[in-house]
Amino acid sequence: MKTYLPVFFCFFLLGTLHSQTFLNGDFEDNLAITCDYNNSNVSFNAKITGVVAFGDEYLGDLLAGGEVDLQTYDCYVDPFSGDWCLGIAGGTGDPEEGDALSIELDQALVAGDLYSLRFHVFGNTTFTNVELMEVGVSSSPVEFGQSLLTLTPLPDIWMEHIIEFEAPANAKYITARVTLGQDCWFQIDDFSIERIQTSSASTQIEPAHQLFPNPVHDRLTIAAASMERIECYNLSGRILLDQDMDGQDQIDLDLSMLPSGSFILLVHTQDGLIREPLIRL
């Protein structure tokens, strides 16, 4: 089952620019033939390009650590995208266990620039419970680096996450790790990244628009030229509304399904992105 849920906001979404890309963000470039479980770091790293395993204990144990899985269809999960996804796990053994990966970009991020990172996670409960998972950015393939987000995957559902972040350094790796010493098993897939603003870019002006009433009870009118998509998130970043617009210039939007509270409304248009705070009474 596939769904689209939380989005984590760190900065304003802006018009996208030419960006870096992952060398193997969909994990399709690998030597596995069928379900391939519990690879040590050395074994896993020999079977895949653009990804490096460096658990256990997050200390770069490249000889014996790790139990990373290469998974295709009917391997206790179906990949979200393409034919392959990766499985990472943690355990309560002695010593404690916890897989960690770095996923390589074709070129380093530019320190100070803003980026949008997208990926999917599946919280697999076949053998374990769901625990926390962490995503970071690093200049080394065998170090976790700086944390960007700690998340809790949903049980047995593919979930999309979006992280907007400022590159802390000219880093070339996005990292992922499970909670060390906790029994858990997650699948990850479909990593992509876009640069959304350079550090020297001037402030961008939103396209002309009208949005009323705000605060709103049930019906919200939005007017803007050539709207392509409307999204609404709560303040925790969970997506509550996602609607294609097909170039319409105005819509009377039904918000009766939303609870009372504060939200962020994003309106994607051909001329740029509109971001408005929204209150439902």
Beta strand pairing call for 36-39 and 68-71: antiparallel
- The pLDDT score that the predictor gives to residue 12 is 40
Query: Structure pTM?
Result: 0.68
Which token pair is 100? 């960690």
Rounded distance, CA 246 to CA 210, Å? Answer: 18
- Closest CA relative to residue 133, chosen from 84, 99, 102: 99
**Tell me, what's the pLDDT at 236?**
55
Identify the top-confidence range among 70-84, 120-134, 154-168, 227-241: 70-84
- Average pLDDT rounded to a whole number, residues 244-262: 91
CA 157 to CA 1: how far, in whole Å? 6
Residue 131 to residue 137: CA distance in whole angstroms:
21
In the DSSP assignment, the letter for residue 203 is P
Domains parsed from the chain with CATH numbers: 36-197 (2.60.120.260), 209-280 (2.60.40.3080)
Q: Which helix (H) or strand (E) holds 46?
A: helix 41-47
What mean pLDDT is reported for the chain?
Answer: 85
If you write DSSP's letter for every residue of 96-118 in order, what string do you get? -EE-EEEEEBSSPPPTT-EEEEE
pLDDT confidence of residue 237: 60
- 56-89 per-position pLDDT tens digit: 754 444 556 788 999 999 999 999 999 999 999 9
Tell me which range, 10-19, 97-106, 269-278, is most confidently predicted by mean pLDDT: 97-106
- β pairing state of 158-166 and 114-123: antiparallel
Shortest CA distance to 103 belongs to which of 153, 45, 62? 45
If DSSP codes are grouped into helix, strand and coil, which group holds residue 95? Answer: coil
